[in-house]
Amino acid sequence: MKKDKLTIKAKKEGYRARSVYKFFAINKKYALVRKNDKVLDLGCWPGSWIQALKKLDAVIVGVDITKIQEIPGTIFIQGDITSKQTQIGIKKYAPFDAVLSDLAPKTTGIREIDQQKCLDLSLTALEIAITCLRKNGNFLCKIFQNSDQEIIMQKARKKFHFTKLTKPQESKKHSKEMYLVCRGMK
């Protein structure tokens, strides 16, 4: 398959994935992570967002089911974010200034099942953010555009002063992914 421009650019600039440019674009616009912040990165493999966060001198805790190739100076927890054990491991490092979730479940191809998996994952990410963020902390969450999106939006609106759905130009045109930007936890 032909590699797209951003994949080639990421490789050239030493980033592990093209998704790094989505983070750069969103963070430039919404300033969710600032210099020296303590950040939780949910679904961090292969680690391009961690690479971006390092540029901000952030203190980083990354979590993923898949083990990442180590990035010196960062903490990595290998585990499923829906498991109690992983959640206990994460809480040890709380509170965070920002929680980021680029989580994407393994899909089955069956629309109803995949839609439910996506919603469950983003709701779990939101719950983790609510329990682990400091007051006024920020949350960024990948969600998939479908009829369920209002469920997480409504929950997020109750907990954050500012919420907005955004689709960075860097997301693939045909992709249903969107990012939920939440600023200032109440």
Under rule CB under 6 A, residue 43 binds ligand SAM: yes
Provide, rounded to whole angstroms, the least separation between the CB of residue 121 and ligand SAM: 6
Catalytic residue among 11, 67, 142, 164: 142
Nearer to ligand SAM, 6 or 185 (CB): 6
Beta-sheet pairing, 96-101 with 38-42 = parallel
As a whole number of angstroms, the distance between CA 132 and CA 135 comes to 10
Q: Which of these segments, 4-12, 25-33, 57-65, 159-167, binds ligand SAM (CB under 6 A)? A: 57-65
Under rule CB under 6 A, residue 16 binds ligand SAM: yes
Q: Which of residues 94-113 bind ligand SAM (CB under 6 A)?
A: 102-105
Neighbours of 13 (CB within 10 A): 10
Under rule CB under 6 A, residue 46 binds ligand SAM: yes
Cβ density class 109-141: b for 16+ within 10 Å, e for less: eeeeebbebbbebbbbbbebbbebbeeebbbbb
* Cis geometry, peptide bond prior to residue 168 (ω within 30 degrees of 0): no
Contact 118, 128 (CB under 8 A): no
Active-site annotation holds for 142: yes
Under rule CB under 6 A, residue 82 binds ligand SAM: yes
Q: Which residues bind ligand SAM (CB under 6 A)?
A: 16-17, 19-20, 43-49, 63-66, 80-82, 102-105, 121
